[in-house]
Structure 1
């Protein structure tokens, strides 16, 4: 076990303070959210970012969670954690949403244009999110299943529009 001397400890403290600077003030927000008059009757509180690489090689940053830094969430609706999976081999788009504490009958799914709206209400458990669909899908093929707090919505992918072409022989 390493015993830190005071210089090492001060350097660590300085680095920690620098790292936590973007989160300054969150303790007040947390205390406001959890005070008896503002406390939600459910948890957990979560917030984060996911970083993936898009098909064009550029990073895609998605924000998720039921609270946001700097904002006290007044509403009692939370955003479920959602993952969108494209399986080109099976030609399927799958949306997976974590919505524990609700029943199948409580879930409402609407496909509106190029987005899927998910809503569920059961007592104090209230979920809502809107998921954009970037791929071409067959809306008539949509199927949904719900088990153990996990909702899966599947679409068949449409064939991509391929340019019509022909080979030209040189004479």
Structure 2
């Protein structure tokens, strides 16, 4: 025992800190038994020791205004909702913002930690699907678009973890068929 530890243990409050430390260790031990193994990582250091880390745990809410003027609240992250204990999701759901305008729809998707080459982007007339994978970082999201778009008009750029997609809207069709006057 070095002089600092000896001095610290002689202090009247040292027992309090010792008990607090013991309680925290016990709490972390219990916590680690409740959490899924997917959140724990081990890596061997150059000196031969093993470093154990936990996480990351990502969970949050995103609130935007829908096309009908009502707020839309979405969750994002790598945890399933409504579980008594967190259950990991293999693919994290990225934060998405859909911005409709008169002639086009702009979609901004946060994908930090991946490169442009890791992103797979697919567009249909009413849906956009994005997936990305780089090492342990995995994203997946299907986005229902507020209007029909021309998939061939898609233009996308990826800068500093932000994927920006612009899609031209298809012209609104009138009622199907030809109107017939009734005599």
* Structure 1 length-normalised TM: 0.63
| 1:7-66 Cα shifts (integer Å, max 9, x gaps) | xxxxxxxxxxxxxxxxxxxxx889733x7x331558643333334443434443333332
| Aligned partners of 1:99 and 1:150 also within 8 Å | yes
| DSSP 3-state at the match of 2:112 | coil
Residue segments in structure 1 that go unaligned for 5+ positions in a row? 1-27, 164-171
| Aligned partners of 1:40 and 1:76 also within 8 Å | no
Match of 1:81 among 60, 70, 95: 95
What corresponds to 1:150 in structure 2?
Answer: 162
Shift of 1:109: 0.7
Distance in 2 (alpha carbons) for counterparts of 1:131 and 1:30: 35
Residue 139 (str. 1) matches residue 151 (str. 2): yes
What corresponds to 1:121 in structure 2?
Answer: 133
Residue segments in structure 2 that go unaligned for 5+ positions in a row? 1-29, 42-53, 176-183
* Structure 2 length-normalised TM: 0.60
TM superposition outliers: structure 1 runs of 4+ over 4 Å: 28-31, 40-44
What corresponds to 2:39 in structure 1?
Answer: 39
Residue 92 (str. 1) matches residue 104 (str. 2): yes
| DSSP 3-state at the match of 2:117 | helix
Distance in 1 (alpha carbons) for counterparts of 2:134 and 2:172: 39
Mark the CA change 1:104 to 1:162 in structure 2 (over 3 Å): closer, same or farther.
same
- State how many pairs are aligned: 132
Q: Which stretch of structure 1 is more off in the superposition, 139-148 or 51-60?
A: 51-60
Give 1 or 2 for the bigger CA radius of gyration: 2
